[in-house]
Amino acid sequence: MDARNTEFLGLIDRAAAVAGSDASQGPKLLAALESLRGQIESGSLEPSRGVVTLGLARHVADTAGSLASPLLQAVGDLERFYQEHYQE
């Protein structure tokens, strides 16, 4: 596995750890993160082309109590990494 995928999987793990402690996000977000992990591991993740998002930040922002939420920060980091490193 290349360094880009390894780093992205680390960001997924971080977001999953934070989501696991957030009862309002819990199972649905964890399922989305596991699906994303599977796509990376199988090589089937579609490129962002610089415009496509994963939709995670929007989902979390809709239910987060604060824009400074650790979970929103973690999924924001995932979204940024995806946009920057999976363009093609």
Q: How does residue 59 score in pLDDT terms, banded at 50, 70 and 90? A: confident
The answer to whether the CB of 11 falls within 8 A of the CB of 77 is yes
For the entire predicted model, the pTM comes to 0.87
Mean pLDDT over the full length of the chain? 88
pLDDT of 2 > 80? The answer is yes
- What CA–CA distance (Å, rounded) separates 51 from 43? 20
The answer to whether the CB of 25 falls within 8 A of the CB of 71 is yes
Residue 20's Cβ-count burial label (10 Å; 0-12, 13-18, 19+) is middle
Planar angle of CA 60, 41, 64, nearest 5 degrees: 5
Q: How does residue 23 score in pLDDT terms, banded at 50, 70 and 90? A: low
Report the pLDDT value the prediction gives residue 83, as an integer from 0 to 100.
93
Look at residues 70, 36, 38 and name the one whose alpha carbon lies nearest to residue 56: 36
Region 10-37 average pLDDT: 87
